[in-house]
Chain A
Amino acid sequence: KQEVTQIPAALSVPEGENLVLNCSFTDSAIYNLQWFRQDPGKGLTSLLLIQSSQREQTSGRLNASLDKSSGRSTLYIAASQPGDSATYLCDGSGGSYIPTFGRGTSLIVHP
């Protein structure tokens, strides 16, 4: 059974910092790794999807990497802004294809 862990659980930083959010998973037979953001009281917005055959994906200030052998994915946020404040979730669909989410990293970027 896939287990997904996200570190840190919470992060508070000043605007402009570069950030690294970590996601680790136990089942390396992963189909893909998807990063989402969730704003308070809202649904999930997909940020990046890394397919099992890929090692990273980039979208604007976001870059996500996937290392299946070590069971890790990293979301890098460059030049953070207050609008980046949200909870970031990673979903690792392991060999059983059942989506498995981590508890998330709650990010606050203050001006």
Chain B
Amino acid sequence: NAGVMQNPRHLVRRRGQEARLRCSPMKGHSHVYWYRQLPEEGLKFMVYLQKENIIDESGMPKERFSAEFPKEGPSILRIQQVVRGDSAAYFCASSPTGTGDHNEQFFGPGTRLTVL
């Protein structure tokens, strides 16, 4: 059972371009979480999704950021018109359930976004 997969592992974009980050959860997991880790800061929750549903996006900036988790395929975190402040490590985690006692999270290796 492969772990959580993220690609690309490293992404370089120029200001104003779009960044698309992909996350494939572990097999059998239907809950996905996205986090951002800025240099010298902690891990911040961004968005929580189930298949075809955004459950909570309270941690995601209102503009330029969007996330989806389609019925088929990976979850996508999309950042439009990137700025230098978007440079960070973006982590995805998945769990078999989203609430209760059995929502142990398993993390991917992260995508390191650098905005030039």
Listed in ascending order, the chain A residues whose CB lies under 8 Å from chain B are 31-32, 34, 36, 41-46, 49, 51-53, 89, 91, 93, 97-104
Which listed residue, B41, B59, B101, B105, touches A53 by the CB 8 Å rule?
Answer: B101
Residues of B within 8 A of A98 (CB): 45, 48, 56, 58-59
Find out whether the CB atom of B43 lies under 8 angstroms from the CB atom of A89: yes
Find out whether the CB atom of B107 lies under 8 angstroms from the CB atom of A43: yes
Q: In whole angstroms, what is the CA distance A93 to B105 when docked?
A: 11
Within 8 A of A (CB), among B39-98: 41-45, 48, 56, 58-59, 91, 93, 98
Q: A36 — nearest CB in chain B belongs to which residue?
A: B107
Find out whether the CB atom of A93 lies under 8 angstroms from the CB atom of B104: no
Find out whether the CB atom of A52 lies under 8 angstroms from the CB atom of B104: no
- B22–chain A nearest beta-carbon distance, Å: 15
Q: Classify chain B's interface size.
A: 20 to 34
Q: In whole angstroms, what is the CA distance A68 to B41 when docked?
A: 26
Find out whether the CB atom of A43 lies under 8 angstroms from the CB atom of B105: no
Is B28 an interface residue when CB atoms closer than 8 A count as contact? no
Find out whether the CB atom of B103 lies under 8 angstroms from the CB atom of A45: no
- B59–chain A nearest beta-carbon distance, Å: 7
Q: A1 — nearest CB in chain B belongs to which residue?
A: B58
List, sorted by A's number, 24 A–B pairs whose CB atoms are closer than 8 Å.
Answer: A31-B100, A31-B101, A32-B103, A32-B104, A36-B107, A41-B112, A43-B91, A43-B108, A45-B107, A46-B104, A46-B105, A46-B107, A51-B102, A52-B101, A89-B42, A97-B99, A98-B58, A99-B35, A99-B45, A100-B45, A101-B35, A101-B42, A103-B41, A103-B42
